[in-house]
Amino acid sequence: MKIYATYNIKGGVGKTTAAVNLAYLSAADGYRTLLWDLDPQGAASFLFRIKPRVKGGGKALIRGTKALDDAIKGTDFQNLDLIPADFTYRNMDLLLGGTDGKPTRKIARLLAPLAAEYDRAFLDCPPSISLVSENVMHAADVLLVPLIPTTLSVRTLDQLTEFVAGFHGRRPEIRAFFSMVDRRKRLHQDIIEKLLAERPGVAATPIPALSLIERMSIERAPVAAFAPRSQAARAFRALWDELSAGTTGQEGSRLQAIS
Amino acid sequence: MTPDLRGFELDGETGASGGEPGNGISAVLDVLGQAFGVAAEHGAPGARQHTWLDTFDWRLYRAGLVLEYEHARRGGRLLLSRNEVPQAEQPVDGWRPSRPRLATDLPAGPVRDQVVRLASPRALLPMASAAGTVTVTRLLNADGKTVARLIVDHSTVTRGDQTVPLPARLAITEVRGYPGQARKAAQLVAGTPGVSPAGRSAFATALAALGRHPNDYSGGVTAEITAEMPAPVAVATLLLGLLDTLEQNVDGTLRDIDIEFLHDLRVAVRRTRSAIKLLGDMLPDGLAAPYAAEFKWLGDLTTPTRDLDVHLFGFDAMARELVAASPADLEPFRAYLVRRRVREVRRLASGLRSARFRTITDHWRKALTEVRDARPPRQGSGVLTADELAVARTARTFRRVAARGSAITPASAPESLHDLRKRCKELRYALEFFAPLHDPVIYRKVVGDLKQLQDCLGEFQDSQVQREEIHALADAMLAEHAAPAATLLAMGEIAANLALSQAEAREVFAGRFARFAGPAGQERVRTLLTGPRP
């Protein structure tokens, strides 16, 4: 199972939108895909019309009194399942800190038993650097980092790269991509050009700022499901093709090293 | 990830409707619409085309498995299931099940891994093919979330030039995490007028539509003999069953689909010959005698090809046992066997297509049918019953085995063991012919011990025969200048290994014989033949 995590220290940059659309495309390609909505706001759960509630809350999952497996819900789409958000996730740092063993590896250990059932997992993370995000970084094979092309966003990418570089052992691959891009803005164009020239891990396909993407919250579905021929759907498809090129969902999994 | 929760059939609505929703489907949707939101699945209704595969003798079905090839736009896939629950699946691009293929020729993958173990050396045959339309309807909760699905399958099934519409099949599939909703939907569907639970799997339904049923072939003795049946009728019934088996295997042998067709054909011939020898006097005077010679001709006709099949089937295992020589040294030998088999198969096919073969089978069937269907003898006419015949002839055959086996000592010539093997085969057939008349528990034990003894005698004789054949084949290869020195040396090593196997079999013989025909074994056979009948 290959694990992708959409992550950024900043909020409102398109993490959930990316997680929902890319997980949908992965499933549409025939891969058994699981999305875990780790954000207590539950936006990904809302978009799939699934109640943001886990029996026993985050505590039961983290302490292992409820198997992660039991919390999984099928979405409306073949091959795509979701672990819903729960409002108790807001205290997940405390829950993770209170567990036995390495508190930064807990999420990886919880996911390990699902490796036989799914080819790919997507973790939709809450913003900020916390014990939750550190867990996610240790569990993930690839960190998908949405960037609004602004100077401050570039700074957060630098901070993240530096933070991950400090990990011992395996580190997740960092794949940044441009999100909410406004082609009319000179600043956006300049930053995109500069970063693409300077950073090898940055995807060339941008996700534009489009009202259709905002409509996801009305339609409560990924854009490719309700507007498959739209510019937005084509952009997410091109981005996913670029990010997943050469991967089958099996190789290079960090879970293989853990289990 | 979402197994069928429950299967239903819609009375009076079939695949002939071409997938257009009929009144029955509309009624189901109306009922479901009162409890759920109802929406068509994303995308158009799917064309469904699939083929069920099994070996001629239903090895997968007997192991509780169903193998299905599903054709889709993006290539095909093989699906292996047990009780309609998927066990393994694998994509098979560029592979089509339109003609028989050996199980070992399947593309590598998890389905192949399971299938080869069960089916080899048999080929997988297309047992039935279905084509039609699958319509998926989503059942939604108050949030508009899909919580279950209704699958409607309109198909027709084909085999050869037969095409039969199947009853429309319905299933509710569960969405993970919403099991209660799927159960509720299934209850609603079950309560809709015109809907009944599907009593059979889709495969069984498809076969039934073609007038077949799973497991409709077995290489074993399947004649239904009853204890009170007049002995001539029982013998004719038995021989007709063997003739059916023989004829069922002719086409597969002629098409050389897999080596088990010829094997089963030969076993049917051998059983027929034994039955004629042991029981032929129950048939009207002079009926059986000419056929004894004809079935010997038929048996002899099949022997060369079968011997080559045995060599080739065990070839890789034999090659792996080489110590001094390399498996590659044997390749000219393999090539020679393959070439020779082509010639022998041609000769065999010519015999099976001959007027002589047709005359034997046609006349034999006609004569046996007359005996079977003759007016039953009057009570007190002195005609034996099947049970009396079974007891008398099985006991006599057992006594022969016990006497000849007891006379064998470590100094006995190999021929005495070969002869005992033949007698054991006759006994085994005698037991199998009348199996329905015996106590099943004792029968299993007697046959189990006999089989162990037969395996040992078989290993002893086959090792010798194969060794002699290897010598003869080496001579033939030399005569054809097809034998490099390295190949002859490797063949010599195989012959030496066969001599070792023969010696090992000789060593275990005494123990196996004592277990089967010692005092306890004799008592067991006595109980089998004279004890209470089932």
User: Tens digits of per-residue pLDDT, B64-100?
Assistant: 999 999 886 667 889 999 887 888 888 887 778 878 8
Q: Is residue B221 part of a domain?
A: no
Instruction: Name residue A148's amino acid.
Output: I
**CA–CA separation, B197 and B221 (whole Å):** 35
Residue B516 CA to residue B428 CA, distance in Å, equals 12
B5 band by pLDDT with thresholds 50, 70 and 90: low
User: Which of B192-196, B353-357, B379-383 is predicted with the least confidence, judged by mean pLDDT?
Assistant: B379-383
Which DSSP letter does residue B507 get? H
Give the residue from B209, B242, B262 where a domain finishes.
Answer: B209
Q: Do residues B29 and B38 touch, judged by C-beta distance below 8 A?
A: yes
Nearest to A25 by CA among A217, A214, A233, A227: A233
How much is the pLDDT for A104?
Answer: 77
More confident residue, B212 or B527: B527
The encoded tokens of residue A32 equal: 């058994």
Distance, in Å, from the CA atom of B7 to the CA atom of B189, rounded to the nearest integer, reads: 10
Report, as an integer, the average pLDDT of B379-402: 90
Tell me, yes or no, if A50 comes closer than 8 A to chain B by beta carbon.
yes
Pick from B143, B144, B176: CB nearest A74: B176
Q: Which two tokens stand for residue A35?
A: 């999305």
Model confidence at B261: pLDDT above 50: yes
What is the per-residue pLDDT for B339?
Answer: 94
Closest in B2, B145, B174 to A49, CB measured: B145
Cα separation, B495 vs B163, in Å, equals 54
Reported as a single tens digit per residue, the pLDDT across A19-74 is 999 999 999 888 889 999 999 999 999 999 999 998 888 888 887 767 788 899 99
What are A179-203's pLDDT values in tens digits? 999 988 999 999 999 999 888 889 9
- Please check whether residue B67 lies inside any domain of the structure: yes
Contacts of B146 in chain A (CB under 8 A): 74-76
A257 lies in some domain: no
Residue B143 contacts A, CB cutoff 8 Å: yes
Between A224-233, B29-38, B93-102, the lowest mean confidence (pLDDT) is in B93-102
Across B243-261, average pLDDT: 96
Task: Report the residue of B145, B149, B174, B181 to disrupt the A interface, i.e. the one with the largest count of A CBs within 10 Å.
Answer: B145
Mean per-residue pLDDT of chain A: 87
Is residue B341 in some structural domain?
Answer: yes
Do the chains contact at A74 and B138, CB–CB below 8 Å? Answer: no
Instruction: Please indicate, yes or no, if residue A256 is contained in any of the structural domains.
Output: no
Shared domain for B200 and B293, answered yes or no, is no
Angle at A223 between CA A218 and CA A224, to 5 degrees: 145
Q: Chains A and B: how many Cβ contacts under 8 Å?
A: 35
Report the domain count for chain A.
Answer: 1
Q: Nearest C-alpha of chain B: how many angstroms from A32?
A: 9
Higher pLDDT: B101 or B362? It is: B362
Lowest mean pLDDT among A43-57, B45-59, B455-469: B45-59
User: Residues of A with CB below 8 A from B2's CB?
Assistant: 74
B274 and B315 fall within a common domain? yes
> How many Cβ atoms sit within 10 Å of the Cβ of residue B363?
13
In a domain, B254, yes or no: yes
Q: How much is the average pLDDT of B388-396?
A: 95
Q: Are B280 and B421 contained in the same domain?
A: yes
Q: CA A108 to CA A101: how far, in whole Å?
A: 12
In a domain, A44, yes or no: yes
**What pLDDT does residue B481 have?**
86
- Is A259 part of any domain? no
Torsion of CA A145, A146, A150, A153, to 10 degrees: -30
Closest Cα of chain B to A73: distance in Å? 4
Task: Give the 3-state secondary structure of residue B178.
Answer: coil
Domain containing B123 — which CATH number? 2.40.320
Does pLDDT of B433 surpass 90? yes
**Taking a contact as any Cβ pair under 8 Å apart, which residues of chain B between 83 and 142 contact chain A?**
138
Predicted local distance difference test score (pLDDT) of residue B118: 94
Phi, psi at residue B19, to the nearest 5°?
90, -5
- B247 and B204 co-located in one domain: no
The CA distance from A136 to A39, in Å, is: 12
Angle between helices B386-406 and B519-530 (to 10 degrees): 170
The answer to whether the Cβ–Cβ distance between A50 and B144 falls below 8 Å is: no
Which chain B residues are closer than 8 Å to A48 by Cβ?
Answer: 145
CA distance, residue A48 to nearest chain B CA (Å): 7
The closest of A50, A89, A52, A56 to A73, measured between CA atoms, is A50
Predicted local distance difference test score (pLDDT) of residue B509: 94
Give B137's contacts in chain A (Cβ within 8 Å).
Answer: none
Q: Which residues have CB under 8 Å from B348's CB, separation 6+?
A: B253, B262, B301, B302, B304, B305
The nearest alpha carbon in chain B to A78 belongs to B1
Contact with chain A for residue B415, Cβ under 8 A: no
What is the distance between the alpha carbons of residues B83 and B200, in angstroms, rounded to a whole number?
A: 10
pLDDT at B18 over 70: no
Q: What is the pTM of this model?
A: 0.70
In which domain, by residue range, is A117 found?
Answer: 2-250
pLDDT at B2 over 60: no
Residue B21 binned pLDDT confidence (cut-offs 50, 70, 90): low
Q: How confident is the model at residue B166 (pLDDT cuts 50, 70, 90)?
A: confident
What is the total count of domains within chain B?
Answer: 2
Contact B146 A75 (CB under 8 A): yes
In a domain, A63, yes or no: yes
Q: Pick from B370, B395, B351, B404: which is nearest to B239 by CA?
A: B370
pLDDT at residue B161, rounded to an integer: 77
Nearest CB partner across the interface for A49, out of B1, B144, B176 = B144
pLDDT in tens, B495-516: 999 999 999 999 999 999 999 9
Token pair for B35: 């409890």
Q: Provide the 3-class DSSP secondary structure of residue B129.
A: strand
**How many angstroms away from the CA of B14 is the closest CA of chain A?**
27
Task: Quote the tokens at residue A156.
Answer: 């957060």
Out of B42, B138, B176, the one facing A81 most closely (by C-beta) is B176
Residues in Cβ contact with B68 at an 8 Å cutoff, skipping those fewer than 6 apart: B50, B51, B52, B53, B78, B79, B80, B81, B203
Which 3-state string (H, E, C) describes chain A?
CEEEEECCCCCCCCHHHHHHHHHHHHHHCCCCEEEEECCCCCHHHHHCCCCCCCCCHHHHHHHCCCCHHHHCEECCCCCEEEECCCHHHHHHHHHHHCCCCCHHHHHHHHHHHHHHCCCEEEEECCCCCCHHHHHHHHHCCEEEEEECCCHHHHHHHHHHHHHHHCCCCCCCEEEEEECCECCCCHHHHHHHHHHHHHCCCECCCCCECCHHHHCHHHHCCCHHHHCCCCHHHHHHHHHHHHHHCCCCCCCCCHHHHHC
Of the three residues B152, B174, B209, the one that is the final residue of a domain is: B209
DSSP state of B330: G
Find out whether A127 and A159 touch, Cβ atoms under 8 Å: no
Whether B172 maps to a domain, the answer reads: yes
Give the total residue count for chain A. Answer: 259
**Residues of B (23-82) whose Cβ lies below 8 Å from A:** 42
CA-nearest residue to B91 within chain A is A30
- Check whether A152 has a pLDDT greater than 70: yes
Based on the domain organization, do B243 and B107 belong to the same domain?
no
Residue B426, classed as helix, strand or coil, is helix
Task: Tell whether the model's pLDDT for residue A259 goes beyond 60.
Answer: no
B95 token code pair: 């592979």
In the block, tokens 């079999």 appear at: B505
**Residues in B touching A79 (Cβ below 8 Å):** 1
Farthest CA pair distance, chain B: 88
Question: Is residue B406 over pLDDT 50?
Answer: yes
Q: Could you report the predicted ipTM of this complex, rounded to two decimals?
A: 0.83
Rounded-to-integer distance, Cα B306 and Cα B295, Å: 16
- The reply to whether B214 falls in a domain is no
CB contact set of B495 (below 8 Å; sequence gap of 6+): B467, B470, B471
Token pair in block for residue B171: 């299933």
Domain co-membership, B388 together with B515: yes
Domain ranges, residue B23: 4-209
- Tell me: do B142 and B255 sit in the same domain: no
B437 and B492 fall within a common domain:
yes
Q: Is the peptide bond prior to A206 cis by the omega test (within 30 degrees of 0)?
A: no
The sheet carrying A120-124 orders its strands as: A73-74, A80-83, A33-37, A120-124, A2-6, A142-147, A173-178
CATH number of the domain to which A137 belongs: 3.40.50.300
Residues of A in contact with B1 (CB under 8 A): 32, 74, 79, 81, 117
Average pLDDT over residues A211-240: 95
Q: Report, as an integer, the average pLDDT of B30-55.
A: 86
Output the domain CATH number for residue B383.
Answer: 1.40.20.10
Determine, yes or no, domain membership for B48: yes
Whether B313 has its CB under 8 Å from any CB of chain A: the answer is: no
Of B179, B209, B239, the one marking the end of a domain is B209
Instruction: Specify whether B129 is located in the same domain as B269.
Output: no
Least confident of B120-124, B185-189, B322-326: B322-326
The Cα A177–Cα A200 span in angstroms is: 11
My answer on whether B477 and B364 are in the same domain is: yes
B265 in the same domain as B181: no
Asked if residue A147 is part of any domain, the answer here is yes
Q: Is residue B216 part of a domain?
A: no
Predicted confidence (pLDDT) per residue in B216-239, tens digit: 898 888 888 999 999 999 999 999
Which residue type occupies B369?
Answer: T
Is there a single domain that holds both residue B144 and residue B269?
no
Residue A258 placed within a domain: no
Identity of residue B238: L
